[in-house]
A and B are shown apart, each in its own frame.
Chain A
Amino acid sequence: MPNSPVATANHEVHDNPALLHHFATEQQQKNAASLGMWIFLATEIMFFGGMFCAYLVYRYKYFGDFGSASQQLSITLGAINTTVLICSSLTVVCGVRAAQLGKRTQVVFWLLATIVLGLVFLGIKADEYAEKFEKHHVPGASFHYHELLPGQEKLAPADRQYANSHHAEMYFSLYFVMTGMHALHMIVGVGIFSVVTFLAWRGKFTPGYYTPVEIVGLYWHFVDIVWIYLFPLLYLIDRHR
């Protein structure tokens, strides 16, 4: 009876079990969820913003040493990871679109593709971290840094200047905190995507209710944007020398 066309036409749309009683329409409920997510993302901007600010201050003060330390990172791995994240944003868009069109198996496929790409990103990141441990470039008691300033290898050996290891350690502290917080967000994202994928597989979403797919998509795109800024700032300092 609640699903009959007559009931739908005479009253407000009350046939959707996902519509909570304190919302008038599905659209209002969806807008409230979306706005809440954007307010959360605004707090995330300020959270990462503090780290970006600290990074800018130290990069300004220790520019040469930051350039030297930055060049210890692999541009290839960084660029591959950027590409992986951009591709994962596309698979999220495809997943949200499939949910809007009510195509259950496609939603599951695109969400799984996103999880796989997220795991590829984390795998490459773990490989980069392992190399930092091997080279003693992890800040702390065993930190050791003896590398040239950018462009110094062109000079005669006696004239070459080395980077200040304390300043390089500051770079690696910021590198690990910023990429580490980003990776933590990726891990949380993969976890939430797993739950949403399970719900999609169980057929919980319809073209009238797919809010969790859209909300987790917003989160994933935000994490992608953070990396879009991290890649040039951390990997590409003073590379032209």
Chain B
Amino acid sequence: MKEVMSDHNSSSEHISSIGSSVAIWLALLIGTALTVGAAYVDLGPFNVVVALAIASIKATLVVLFFMHVKYTHEKLTKLVIATAIFFFLILLSLSMADYATRMWT
């Protein structure tokens, strides 16, 4: 019985602590405030870059900590996520490479 219990515990999922979850939550709120603040500063073409960078940091925090990807032992899950992001970036970069260069002569 004891052996079964310990075996079960070693294979069970990560249980996130209240403290670390609240820390991530605070980081997400600070990120939101930073995005709003940065929108009122004139950064030229970098306004959108900063906005997307902050959004991507927030999304990464959610995926890693709230969606438990940082603690998963399942490599297939990570492969699926990496594949989805890779094809999404192909969609964006090749479409914009087309539209952004149509005026070139």
Contact = CB atoms under 8 A, between A and B. Distances in A.
A34 B43 CA distance: 41
A228 B55 contact: yes
A232 interface: yes
A101 B14 CA distance: 11
Contacts of A20: none
Given A79-B36, A101-B15, A240-B41, A5 B95 contact: no
A238 B47 contact: yes
A240 B45 CA distance: 12
Main secondary structure of the interface of B (DSSP, over half): helix
Given A49-B92, A224-B62, A232-B39, A240 B47 contact: yes
B84 A45 contact: yes
B3 A87 contact: no
| Best-buried of A13, A101, A224 by chain B (most CB within 10 Å) | A224
Contacts of B16: 93, 97
A152 interface: no
Contacts, number: 138
A8 B1 contact: yes
B59 A53 contact: no
Contacts of A26: 8
Interface of A: 5, 8-9, 13, 25-27, 30-31, 34-35, 38-39, 41-42, 45-46, 49-50, 52-53, 56-57, 60-61, 75, 79, 82-83, 86-87, 89-90, 92-94, 97, 100-101, 207-208, 214, 217-218, 221-222, 224-225, 228-229, 231-233, 236, 238-241
17 contacts: A35-B77, A46-B84, A60-B99, A75-B36, A83-B32, A86-B25, A100-B13, A101-B15, A217-B67, A218-B67, A221-B62, A221-B63, A228-B58, A229-B55, A232-B54, A240-B39, A241-B42
